[in-house]
Amino acid sequence: MFGKILEVKQEKNKVIFLFEQGTGIIEIINPWVVNVFSPLKTNEYKSKAIESLKGEECKINVETTGTHIQITTDKLKINVYENFIVDFYDEIGNILCEDYRGERKPFVRRGNGGKLEEEGHKVLENIKENKVQVIKKLMGDEKFYGLGDKTGNLNKRGYDYEMWNTDEPAPHVESHKSLYKSIPFFITLRDKSVFGIFFDNTYKSYFDMGKENNEYYYFAAEDGNLNYYFIYGDKMEQIISRYTDLTGKTPLPQMWTLGYQQSRWSYDTKDRVIGIAENFRKYDIPIDVIHLDIDYMDGYRVFTFDNNKFPGFKNIMDDLKGMGIKVVTIIDPGVKKDKGYFVYDKGLKNNYYVKDKDGIPYVNEVWPGDSVYPDFADKNVRDWWSENQRIMIEEGVSGIWNDMNEPASFKGPLPNDVVFNDEGIESDHREFHNLYGHLMSKATFKGIKKYTRKRPFVITRACYAGSQKYTTVWTGDNQSFWEHLRLSIPMLLNLGMSGMAFCGCDVGGFSFDCTSELLSRWVQVGCFSPLFRNHSAIHSRDQEPWAFDEETLNINRKYIKLRYKLLPYLYDLMHESECNGLPPMRALVIHYSNDKNVYNINDEFLFGKNILVAPVVEQGKTYRALYLPQGKWFDYWTKEKINGQQIIIKNAPIDVCPMYVKEGSIIPNYPDQRYVGEKVIDELTLDIYEGNGDYEHYEDDGESYNYKNGKYNLYRITQRVKEDISIKFEKIHIGYDSSYKYLKIIFNSSKVKLVTFNNDNVDFVENDNNIEFKINAVDGEIKITLI
């Protein structure tokens, strides 16, 4: 407890409180974002998530009253009381977030827990006090979103979780407190207000979102500082945007990384990999990436290759590239303890491994047997790891998949006192556990960037807040269960709301055997997740698109081709993400946060703002109920126009994923390609749905950093419906030598009488539900007159 306030000082944007016991600091980052800090462990903030905190000069006013100090920004009022109790109000004085005044009081658990344990049940702990703890009052109607990759429903109200990166091979279920990632950020939606809290503490931390009691929720950590950001905004989009202003945006990836990816533990010989590649061509299924899992290495030694299974590794990479396919290889952190193995020797010589309390490199077991763990807390080690990427890049590898970096360990967890070197200061496993995957991906990203000079493609299993700057993520070892297909949706949506815009899961499920129906439905979700990778475990049945029957093959082809068609739209969304942090795959609540019908939707999502996807995620179902929010929506398949704010029933035979496009939408499409870059796209299709709407389409070379120097194009397309329909096409930034010569317009209405472009009549073809025509890709206005 901090006790009474003894003194208050202001230093620029910081208001410093000297309490009877300890110090508290309120720092105004900008009118919307406030940091609450107390140096319980160190005076420094030491954030690994926030690399450059850009505070804004802003007006703040500090006033002392009898009971508290009030700090005012243009947007917030913050009241600070004794015991460092902090309440937040909006600018006109409505309470947003209030510290809970009482003691924690868990619900009573009756009866004998020991008896329950005898049968093997897990007994819930009653109360755990932590060194750092913030308890907030529940006003009643709070909904919570975010918190990374946690299991359970989209809305985290009523759950409790732990942040402790965990390699979890057991089926992921709702009662799991932690999985692979620690993203201690959540968004609270209540009444008409919305705010986020980012608890930047890397020790094991706890989040109880009203499970322990319905009067409060809390976040707590075993050690470290009290350090959280209160992030306010008018809309949920702004909360995500401001959180990613702090922790970083997902950078625009190379376009091929958005293509379809096929993986397996493992395609373990040259012939097998080439065979897989050929099958994609044979079955006419687009693909951009094949993944090589651990068996390409020599005895699981990272940065080595098995020359028997993959003779002439680089030539194989070149052959695949010739077919338009890139290879991503797995790299785990564990380095085999093996004298004479160059990676191990170099790390040992330079003191690069984490140590036990006696200063000896700490050994545990992973795939190669006894292994040591690079100390990624140390910049020298990260630089070394970055250098090692050169080996992979020179062999023709195009991206790196970082796994087992929780870090995983087969012989029990790493002890708490394993020593890390935090840039010269000794630290321990308790502080660096949750950062291990983050720092490993950061090193990987930097290495790939240095040796390719292109936008790096890294995938990681473990991460911390802010990892989105360096890596994409997947949700780890799921299973081929319908339950896991369902779970993947809220997981990916919450990852997206936690800053991880580029995420995906193992399509078809990792462990267990997939079925034709499950894969058919899963590919219908994968099609819309930014990372679209089918992956499965050793010893499970084959799971490639052709591994089942003709119908499953056709469904895979249909949705993978749809993905390639929507690539320019997805690329636009990734560009948007780099600007404002919004994920491509979005919970409905992000855009419709005033509509209570969407707060708990676990099985529908938006793909960007314009497309609503309501996949079938139950075995045997060929129809489903779904909710359309406000506005008018077009059924993507039938083009039927439907009013929003209602529940509808959609027939969805096995090959149909219900999809709806909002009125006024303009969706860019590419022609069929077998891989990204196969064709020069000289004709961009614009799929247009009647209604007022604006859209910006982004174009660049799809791989380099030249866009940062202005080498990109931005097109604005505006649709206005009056008596006639006017569609304006404008180039608003020209910096890249565009490949577009023509625009193919698909206008989704069959009642068209006349089309003109810049006042010249245009011939159009009438289809069942739409018309199509072609014009030159130059600035101008299309006018459509309906019958």
Which residues form the interface with ligand GLC (CB under 6 A)?
265, 293-294, 330, 403, 461, 476-477, 510, 535
Q: Which of 295, 378, 406, 572 is catalytic?
A: 406
Q: Which is nearer to ligand GLC, 422 or 506 (CB)?
A: 506
Q: Which is nearer to ligand GLC, 32 or 367 (CB)?
A: 367
CB of 535 to ligand GLC, least distance (A): 6
Two tokens at 153?
A: 């429903």
- Minimum CB distance to ligand GLC, residue 381 (Å): 22
**352 or 510: whose CB is closer to ligand GLC?**
510
* Spatial contact of 590 and 497, defined as CB atoms under 8 Å apart: yes
Query: What minimum distance in Å lies between the beta carbon of 537 and ligand GLC?
Result: 6
Which token pair is 596?
């209570």
Closest-approach residue to ligand GLC (CB) = 265
In angstroms, give the least distance from the CB of 9 to ligand GLC. Answer: 50
To ligand GLC, the closest distance from the beta carbon of 401 in angstroms equals 8
Between 330 and 400, CB nearer to ligand GLC: 330
Q: How far apart are CA 440 and CA 335, in angstroms?
A: 13
Element (H, E) at 567: helix 567-580
The residue among 410 and 623 lying less far from ligand GLC, judged by its C-beta, is: 410
Give the full edge-to-edge strand order of the sheet including 85-90.
Answer: 61-64, 69-72, 76-81, 85-90, 95-97
Nearer CB in complex with ligand GLC: 401/747: 401
User: Which residue, 294 or 667, is less far from ligand GLC as judged by CB?
Assistant: 294
The nearest distance, CB 94 to ligand GLC, in angstroms, is 46
Nearer to ligand GLC, 183 or 330 (CB): 330
Contact between 156 and 144 (Cβ < 8 Å): yes
Dihedral sign for Cα atoms in the order 749, 754, 757, 762 = positive
Q: In what helix (H) or strand (E) does residue 421 lie, and over which residues does it extend?
A: strand 419-422
Return the number of the residue (78 or 302) whose C-beta is nearest ligand GLC: 302
Query: What residues have CB less than 8 Å from 360, skipping those under 6 apart?
Result: none
Rounded CA-CA distance 548/521 in Å is 13
* DSSP letters for 112-176: -HHHHHHTTPPPPPS----SEEEEEE--S--EEEESSS-SS-SS-TT-EEEE------SPP-TT-
Query: Smallest gap, in angstroms, from Cβ of residue 269 to ligand GLC?
Result: 16
Q: What are phi and psi of 171, to 5 degrees?
A: -50, 130
Q: Please indicate whether residue 44 is annotated as part of the active site.
A: no
User: CB within 8 A of 548, min separation 6: which ones?
Assistant: 515, 516, 519
**Got the DSSP string for 589-643?**
HHH-TT-GGGTT--S-EEETTTEEE----STT--EEEEEE-SSEEEETTT--EEE
Indicate the residue among 330 and 589 with the shorter CB distance to ligand GLC.
Answer: 330
| Torsion sign, CA atoms 266, 542, 493, 408 | negative
Q: Measured between alpha carbons, how far is 112 from 435 in angstroms, rounded to an integer?
A: 38
Residue 331 CB, nearest distance to ligand GLC (Å)? Answer: 10
Backbone angles phi, psi at 323, to 5 degrees: -90, 0
Set 99, 288, 293, 403: catalytic member? 403
DSSP states of 651-698: E--TT---EEEETT-EEEEPPP-SSTTSS---EEEEEE-SSSEEEEEE
Q: Given the complex with ligand GLC, which of 399 and 476 has the nearer CB atom?
A: 476
**Tokens for 173?**
């279920």
Q: What minimum distance in Å lies between the beta carbon of 132 and ligand GLC?
A: 31
CB 611 within 8 A of CB 667: yes
Tokens of 337: 């303890």
CA-to-CA dists, residue 120 to 108, 161, 162, 636, angstroms = 22, 21, 22, 50
Distance CA 380, CA 320 (A): 35
* Torsional class of 453: left (φ above 0), alpha (ψ -120 to 50), beta (otherwise): left
Count the Cβ atoms, other than its own, within 10 Å of residue 759.
Answer: 8
CB of 477 to ligand GLC, least distance (A): 5
458/589 with CB nearer ligand GLC? 458
Helix then strand count (H, E) for the chain reads 13, 52
Q: Which amino acid is at 490?
A: P
The count of residues in the chain is: 787
* HEC secondary structure over 172-237: CCCCCCCCCEECCEEEEEECCEEEEEEECCCCCEEEECCCCCCCEEEEEECCCCEEEEEEEECCHH
State the minimum distance, in angstroms, from the CB of residue 459 to ligand GLC. 10
**Which of the following is catalytic: 208, 477, 506, 699?**
477
Distance CA 780, CA 758 (A): 6
- For ligand GLC, the closer of residues 157 and 535 by Cβ is 535
Report the candidate in 571, 566, 777 with the shortest Cα–Cα distance to residue 673.
Answer: 566
Is 403 a known active-site residue? yes
119 belongs to the catalytic site = no
* Residues β-bridged to residue 197: 186, 230
Q: Long-range pairs for 748-751 at CB < 8 Å and ≥24 separation?
A: 748/634, 748/639, 748/687, 748/688, 748/689, 748/690, 749/690, 749/786, 751/786, 751/787
State the minimum distance, in angstroms, from the CB of residue 531 to ligand GLC: 13
Closest CB 434 distance from ligand GLC, rounded Å: 18
What residues are annotated to the active site?
403, 406, 477
